Amino acid sequence: MIMPVTNKTAIVTGSSRGIGRSIAIQLAQAGFSVIVNYVSKPDEAANVVAEIKAAKSQAIAVQADVSKPQDAAKLFDQAEKAFGPVDILVNNAGVMTNKSFADMDEATYDRMMNINLKGTFNMLHLASTRLRDNGRIINLSTSALVTNMPTYGVYNATKAAVEAMTRVLAKELGSRHITVNAVAPGPVNTELFFSGKSQEFVDRLIKMIPLGRIGEVDDIAPIVVFLAGPDSGWINGQTIRANGGVG
């Protein structure tokens, strides 16, 4: 049972679309005031905010590139200005480009490292001092780490580092009763997943999943909402692999 919350604030990075959008909406439904973060598509973020407000919950959209420390700080600044101290951080912002090591170029490598890893670090660095006691941090990883598929090498490297930071930060913040966990989705029906993939590749991935389908965003968001809520207080430093049994 997910218990409702009141007077708490959540930042969800990369929440104008995909999994982040669903997380933002479901956190609002659970009673959180939500910061909807976007980089380049204000209309999509505005639509998320409008949907949350239509359901009588609170949200604002904040443009910020989390790979830039000053932008990461702006997310906390705007959250505190609008709703007060931050209780929940969901590090969802990420990019994925599938290339073999032979075909990987420096620009693609740098982009994934900057957003997936440095962006997550920037937010964790700030959350370490700006999140309220008894807060929750949820990082998004990937179940591709357990399948070791070709062309996922650099993307997996960024997410392996995110999981490593998750485990260490859980111990650093434990005395303040802040839990730090990760959720590692398998293939999910989002633009991020389908971008650059052939139907043959997608079909091959689906055959690897015992449940016989790719996931939906609503398979992932409720797990994050649970980890953000009061019922998850004894779960710390863990990675939950939501992937239909792929690994």
Catalytic residues: 155
The CA–CA distances, whole Å, from 158 to 1, 19, 55, 118 equal: 33, 18, 36, 9
Give me the residues paired with residue 140 across strands: 183
Q: How far is 125 from 212, CA to CA, in rounded Å? A: 39
The identity of residue 29, as a single letter, is: Q
Beta bridge partners of 181: 138
Strand locations in the chain, DSSP E?
8-12, 32-38, 59-63, 86-91, 131-140, 179-185, 239-242
Angstrom CA distances, 76 to 2, 52, 124, 215, stand at 26, 20, 11, 31
Q: Which residue bears the tokens 């999140």?
A: 131
The DSSP secondary-structure symbol of 188 reads: B
Burial (Cβ within 10 Å: 0-12, 13-18, ≥19) of residue 3: exposed
Long-range contacts of 108-112 (CB under 8 A, 24+ apart): 108/154, 109/154, 112/154, 112/155, 112/158
DSSP conformation letters of 216-228: -HHHHHHHHHHHH
